[in-house]
Amino acid sequence: MKTARGHKKQGKIFVISGPSGSGKTTLLNKLTQDREISKLLIKSRSLTTRPRRCQERDGKDYFFVSPDEFSRLLKAKKILEWTRYLGYYYGTPREHVEARLKKGGHIGFCLDLKGAAILKKIYPQNTVTVFVLPPSLETLKARIEGRSKSTDKKEVAQRLKLAARELSAAPGFDYCILNNNLQVALKELKEIILTHIGS
Ligand code: 5GP
């Protein structure tokens, strides 16, 4: 779409955030498979130094890289924003994101609180932040434990501790979605996205 001056309008950024186990990644993955949404929105793929979980695929869920490679890309300014989460590095590759936004394409991100704040700061006009709330801390615990059979007990405990802290950031987001029922949460997220893409 073009602005009144004939410039191409920048694409929109949708940052989905929330504690580990809130279901934010599932929500965004499912949404980008939706017939209507898949034509409009792509999901950004992050780089990470965290080990791959058994159901994850390199290049699809993440680009799994070594700490040295991450550091090299960071120095070369190839990473738009990054964070350290429980000892591992995560970052958004810059080039693809900037090129797509420039062309007016929209992108969805699953990021931690720091990533959400940074993208809102870099792109204040076109970033929409959504916080996904789990129904309860008990559900969160069950999801984190169930998902990661291979994740050690220490990491589960760390993720839970961090989750309790992350929950307090929800009021600072543009929207909050309660992920009690996946279909209901998906519908809400789809509505938010279509409202902003249409505007
Ligand atoms: P996980 O290990 O559960 O896949 O991810 C840990 C946290 O890092 C999650 O909150 C996830 O959304 C966040 N994350 C994943 N990729 C990125 C990224 O590129 N940048 C930032 N800031 N956070 C990320």
The sheet with strand 106-110 has its strands ordered as: 41-43, 106-110, 13-17, 127-133, 175-178
**Which is the closest atom of ligand 1 to the Cα of 112?**
10
Separation between Cα atoms, residue 176 and residue 47, nearest integer Å: 26
First to last CA, the chain: 11
pTM of the model: 0.93
* Domain carrying residue 141: 13-198
- Counting residues of the chain whose pLDDT is more than 70, the rounded percentage is 93
Position 4 pLDDT exceeds 80: no
* Residue 82 β-bridge partners: 91
Mean residue pLDDT across the chain: 92
**Residue 11 in contact with ligand 1 by CB distance below 6 A:** no
Is 6 a domain residue?
Answer: no
**Which is the closest atom of ligand 1 to the Cα of 91?**
19
At 2, is the pLDDT very low, low, confident or very high (cuts 50, 70, 90)? low
State which of 90, 145, 173 you would mutate to test the pocket of ligand 1, scoring each by most atoms of that ligand within 8 A of its C-beta.
90
Separation between Cα atoms, residue 174 and residue 185, nearest integer Å: 16
- Higher-pLDDT residue of 148, 28: 28
Is 1 a domain residue?
Answer: no
> Residue range 27-44: average pLDDT?
95
pLDDT, position 156: 85
Is 157 a domain residue?
Answer: yes
Number of domains in the chain: 1
| Among 24, 141, 71, CA closest to 32 | 24
Per-residue pLDDT of 58-94, as tens digits, reads: 999 999 999 999 999 999 999 999 999 999 999 999 9
Position 54 pLDDT exceeds 70: yes
pLDDT, position 136: 87
At 177, is the pLDDT very low, low, confident or very high (cuts 50, 70, 90)? very high
Residue 138 belongs to domain with CATH number:
3.40.50.300
pLDDT, position 175: 98
Is 167 a domain residue?
Answer: yes
CB 47 within 8 A of CB 93: yes
Q: Where are the alpha helices (DSSP H) in the chain?
A: 24-31, 35-38, 67-75, 94-102, 113-122, 137-147, 153-167, 182-198
Is 4 a domain residue?
Answer: no
> Residue range 27-37: average pLDDT?
95
Is 17 a domain residue?
Answer: yes
**Residue 114 in contact with ligand 1 by CB distance below 6 A:** yes
pLDDT, position 198: 82
pLDDT, position 151: 58
State which of 24, 83, 84, 156 you would mutate to test the pocket of ligand 1, scoring each by most atoms of that ligand within 8 A of its C-beta.
83
Is 47 a domain residue?
Answer: yes
The residue whose C-alpha atom lies closest to atom 8 belonging to ligand 1 is 112
Is 114 a domain residue?
Answer: yes
At 106, is the pLDDT very low, low, confident or very high (cuts 50, 70, 90)? very high
Position 5 pLDDT exceeds 90: no
| Coil vs helix vs strand at 17 | strand
